Amino acid sequence: MAEGKNLVGVDIGASSIKVVQLKESRKKLQIARWGWAPLPPQTIVDGHVMNSSAVTEALSRIFHDSKIQQRDVAIGVYGQSVIVRKITVPMMTPNELDEQIHWEAEQHIPFDIKLMSIDYEVLRHRPDAGQMDLLLVAAKKDEISDYAAILREGKLRPSVVDIYAFTIQNIFEHQYGLPQDGTIALLNLGAAVSSLNIVTKGVSAFTREIANAGNAITEEIRKSLSCSYEQAEAYKHGGGETQIVPQEVTQIINQACQALAGEIQRSLDFYLATSGEPEIGRIHVSGGSAYLAPLVQAIERRARVPVQLFDPTVNLGVDPKFVNEADVRARSAQLVVALGLSLRCDKERRQWSV
């Protein structure tokens, strides 16, 4: 449960860094500061930092230009170094579970447990069966250490590390609440990774990262037209006011979007086939690639489920002294992870669910 002041949410993505600071005003959260900065290609690869100086420079620029004084931050991690499992264990007390969790994790984590940071959340007690369901999360210690070192180099203090999929669930729950009946899918369409989190009866039931996202569409344009990555990215977004987009770009984008939508559909089908749930009621999409209309349309056609853009700022105010409301609303879908992280606080205690 959250206590104390909100941390600054720092989302170090594959193509850009997004930073958000929230504050409470008249019993309502508002965006107090925010910032965004692009990253050079290949700065982040599968969640690994390949160019730490570019990240440090971008962070320093954001905090300086946005006049963010607070240095305590929460960051998100993703990629192959992160493992999420839903497991079932015998009923036990909180103290017993704290003692047993590493042994339980060894049965489900395909890495040396000594190299992993472990955390968990109790999802549900089932006393009739003498069991309890846990959400088990593990991340490689060296990956976390690398991010922490970069943040400290930028004179920041990392306080919380969260998983992308759960940061999105947190801000969605804060803004809309989670349906206690039925199933929804939260799909973050980023630059390098599409993060899927399926929530059933208010509880995360299935998470998966799909190693295909907006950059794959850009790469298809680049290869097909033999142009630069920057030119392909511009074509993907319509070319702007001065550029003429080649006619074949539309077909290239549509084909790439169909391929990504097919991968997302297979993950949804796998969940439905293994969970016993009858259907997914709605898919809520966010992330920079969620603004690409052909992709959203392809997902809706393939999944045969209504798709809706998730605006994580819809119920948040802004501080007009430091935040241009039009700018932050224009990038709202890209801020979903940073906003979810900015809900975390500097004093938190584990919530023991029942």
Instruction: Give one word for 226, left, alpha or beta, with left for phi > 0 and alpha for psi -120 to 50.
Output: left
Q: How confident is the model at residue 352 (pLDDT cuts 50, 70, 90)?
A: very low
Residues 37, 298: Cα–Cα separation, whole Å: 29
Q: Which CATH superfamily is domain 2-348 in?
A: ATPase, nucleotide binding domain (3.30.420.40)
Instruction: Tell me whether residue 131 is exposed, middle or buried, using C-beta atoms within 10 angstroms of its C-beta: 0 to 12, 13 to 18, 19 or more.
Output: middle
Residues 162, 149: Cα–Cα separation, whole Å: 16
- Per residue in 206-226, pLDDT tens? 999 998 899 999 999 999 999
Mean pLDDT, range 77-84, rounded to an integer: 84
Q: How confident is the model at residue 81 (pLDDT cuts 50, 70, 90)?
A: confident
**Residues 323-327: contacts with CB under 8 Å, at least 24 apart:** 323/31, 323/32, 323/33, 323/34
Q: What pLDDT, on a 0 to 100 scale, did the predictor assign at position 46? A: 78
pTM here is: 0.90
Q: What pLDDT, on a 0 to 100 scale, did the predictor assign at position 242? A: 66
From start to end of 13-113, where are the E strands? 16-25, 28-38, 44-45, 48-49, 72-77, 82-90
Q: What pLDDT, on a 0 to 100 scale, did the predictor assign at position 306? A: 96
Q: What pLDDT, on a 0 to 100 scale, did the predictor assign at position 241? A: 64
Q: Residues for the chain: how many in total?
A: 354
> In the chain, which ranges are continuous DSSP H helix?
52-65, 94-106, 141-153, 164-176, 214-225, 229-236, 248-275, 293-303, 325-330, 336-342
Biggest distance spanned by C-alpha atoms of the chain = 67
Q: Is the sign of the CA dihedral 37, 259, 278, 128 positive or negative?
A: negative
Q: Where are the domains of the chain?
A: 2-348
- Per residue in 291-329, pLDDT tens? 999 999 999 999 999 999 999 998 899 999 999 999 999
Mean pLDDT, range 285-292, rounded to an integer: 93
Residues 294, 220: Cα–Cα separation, whole Å: 15
Residues 85, 206: Cα–Cα separation, whole Å: 8
- Per residue in 87-134, pLDDT tens? 999 999 999 999 999 999 999 988 899 999 999 999 889 999 999 999
Inter-CA distances, 93 with 122, 135, 149, 342, Å: 11, 16, 36, 31
Residues 232, 339: Cα–Cα separation, whole Å: 29
Give the mean pLDDT of the chain: 90
Mean pLDDT, range 245-256, rounded to an integer: 93
In sequence order, the 6+-apart residues with CB closer than 8 A to the CB of 136 are 83, 84, 85, 86, 87, 101, 104, 105, 108, 109, 118, 119, 120
**At 298, which amino acid appears?**
A
Mean pLDDT, range 232-261, rounded to an integer: 88
Dihedral (Cα; 172, 175, 177, 183), 10-degree rounding? -40
